[in-house]
Structure 1
């Protein structure tokens, strides 16, 4: 097969990582080509470093790419085109419709159409709705990253037979199952008693959250949960690390103000963006997702892949699917900081399942497993 991966920008988002994972596997036996709007982005460098074929259309906006991408289709002659995100999906479908070479087009949706766009402008919500409701009908398949996202799409395009869901792959190799007594990482021990005291040292537990600072991630609920947690646990026995760039300065200012008001500076550390996030998973005793909504929740699978116990909000659309209703980690209601604090304390004391079970669950989202599902889908179309 000849496959084009069409995406506007190769940043560090979920769709980019999915495309890279699938391409790495499929390019062993098939011809692949990435097509982007511009030759920039953190993951664009990854394409170059890994010798994955890529072509930039050199356009400032996706809808200015119609004719240039049409020519790429006619030149490369793909059997299948896989695209992501509403604007790019729309432009891709239009380019494929006017191209002389006929290719099967699979559009993918990585965010909840209901939740993700509810805070956008009326014009943006209308645009996305029209794209999904009318242009997605031109696609040969519509792939959602979770069953919840798929259920948002089906009522709009009214073609359930065209829709399916394929979960995102985990980007890290799963560790080999270890003996249950072997910890994922050694907790940091810090003495909090005065010199000469006979009191035992407090073991500090590291709690990890991964994701950009945005209202979607609802880190305020996490901070409130930390406040409640430190009231019920020995002083200084938890340390929270939040790994992710600051996407929303106003949200960051709100969080910083809360930290200052409640004297949480010694408990909370904002790491910022990291391209070596696996280092933090390896150090974590607990992973927490406090999001108000998700398309899937890749970071939960990543935590499971490192054997880390998980607590998550039961937000749309993915955490409950990944954790199978609480079998592989605790779920709490969105925005309920008291319930989140209790779940964090309980999961630290008594994890929901064994480390081996977490690793086995993560293995079901391996690059090989998920790429095989895409390959099966592509082969069925061509």
Structure 2
């Protein structure tokens, strides 16, 4: 069988979940079937160092997304791509237009990762994306909840949509834990008798770290504990101010972006997610893979699917600091046998999202979609 060339387009291989997903897909594709080409704008991203050396990596000579359409079309044409794959609505728009302007027979495959919409203006914007998606050959949703949202708010034909969960590099996480070390200046956080709660994610409104801070303040009155927050974002200063206001600043540690967050997860006692909504909840699956108990808000649709409505982790109400504090306390004070069972169940659940398994699903989707050319 002749190898198929798939061009992957993303803004940059930065520190976000979309770049991490792209990395896990590309690195784990079967090279006897798929020849991957990665195209980004002219940025340097944190995940570039983790790309396999056999990947054809091209950077466009622009840092503006709107200026990428014609250069990307030229690359599609020059590389003779069989398919163009992109993720996130703005990037999908550019990829679809570039594919059309390449005047090639390449198939267009877009991925939707977020549960978007709600108010009138947002829903109208999604309808516009949905109109453009009519020019794509397949839409991949990262959860069943996201698929339902695409059908309802984007008005996309359900027959065009396929659900493929996020890939989690379970083996890679295990290697990073085995080979990794917590930074010297952070080691003291994990070496005393205090229970350590950890979270990771961009410091933005949707992650609702403020509710977590309120929950932690309530929990701190009952148990000796610390809170470690990994990630960067626009709300860092206001969240630090909130920690001061709640008189917990001495026990809350903002450690920024960490290249190897998994070694931090492994040394903590519990992972907490306070998001308002998640399309999938990739970090939950990664936390399960590290062998740490999880407490998460029931941020639909993602968390409920990853944790199977509480089977593989404890769930609490969205935006409810009181409920979260109770669930954090109950989990931290479980006996060792209960915690070990929780950890083993979580590890088994993470295997369902293993990158090699998910990459295989992407391979089959790419080959099936490209195969439409061969039948036409």
Cross-structure match for 2:185: none
Of residues 341, 348, 360, the one that matches 1:360 is: 348
Range 139-148 or range 92-101, more displaced: 92-101
SS across alignment from 1:369: helix
Cross-structure match for 2:180: none
Q: Distance in 1 between matches of 2:217 and 2:18?
A: 34
Of residues 367, 371, 376, the one that matches 2:364 is: 376
How many corresponding residue pairs? Answer: 349
**Contiguous gaps of at least 5 residues in structure 2:** 176-188, 372-376
SS across alignment from 1:70: helix
Q: Please tell me whether residue 74 in structure 1 is matched to residue 77 in structure 2.
A: yes
Q: Distance in 2 between matches of 1:5 and 1:14?
A: 15
Cross-structure match for 2:129: 132
Range 156-165 or range 135-144, more displaced: 156-165
Cross-structure match for 1:105: 108
Q: Distance in 1 between matches of 2:108 and 2:254?
A: 41
Q: Distance in 2 between matches of 1:299 and 1:273?
A: 14
Q: Please tell me whether residue 84 in structure 1 is matched to residue 87 in structure 2.
A: yes
Of residues 20, 31, 36, the one that matches 2:35 is: 31
**8 Å contact from structure 1 (residues 132, 157) kept in 2:** no
Q: Distance in 2 between matches of 1:189 and 1:46?
A: 30
Cross-structure match for 1:40: 44
Q: Report the Cα offset of residue 27 of structure 1.
A: 5.3
Of the two, which has the highest radius of gyration?
Answer: 1
SS across alignment from 1:208: strand
SS across alignment from 1:65: helix
Q: Deviations over 1:176-223 (max 9, x none)?
A: 9xxxxxxxxxx9564xxxxxxxxxxxx321111001211111111111
**8 Å contact from structure 2 (residues 127, 155) kept in 1:** no
Q: Report the Cα offset of residue 60 of structure 1.
A: 3.0
**8 Å contact from structure 1 (residues 293, 315) kept in 2:** yes
Q: Distance in 2 between matches of 1:212 and 1:158?
A: 29
Q: Please tell me whether residue 223 in structure 1 is matched to residue 221 in structure 2.
A: no
Range 79-88 or range 36-45, more displaced: 36-45
Q: Distance in 1 between matches of 2:43 and 2:252?
A: 36
Cross-structure match for 1:284: 268
Q: Distance in 2 between matches of 1:8 and 1:262?
A: 38
SS across alignment from 2:194: strand
Q: Please tell me whether residue 59 in structure 1 is matched to residue 62 in structure 2.
A: yes
Q: Please tell me whether residue 161 in structure 1 is matched to residue 165 in structure 2.
A: no
SS across alignment from 1:232: coil
TM-score by length of 1: 0.85
**8 Å contact from structure 1 (residues 11, 41) kept in 2:** yes
Question: RMSD between aligned alpha carbons?
Answer: 2.4
Q: Report the Cα offset of residue 172 of structure 1.
A: 4.0
Cross-structure match for 2:140: 143
Q: Distance in 1 between matches of 2:14 and 2:333?
A: 38
Matches within 5 A, 1:206-355: 206-233=196-223, 237-245=224-232, 247-248=233-234, 251-350=235-334, 353-355=341-343
TM-score by length of 2: 0.86
Q: Distance in 1 between matches of 2:238 and 2:198?
A: 20
Relative to its length, the structure with more helix (as a share) is 2
**8 Å contact from structure 2 (residues 215, 324) kept in 1:** yes
Q: Distance in 2 between matches of 1:71 and 1:158?
A: 28
Q: Deviations over 1:226-281 (max 9, x none)?
A: 11112222xxx211100111x11xx3333222222222123211111111111211
**8 Å contact from structure 2 (residues 272, 295) kept in 1:** yes
**8 Å contact from structure 1 (residues 136, 157) kept in 2:** no
Q: Distance in 2 between matches of 1:126 and 1:87?
A: 15
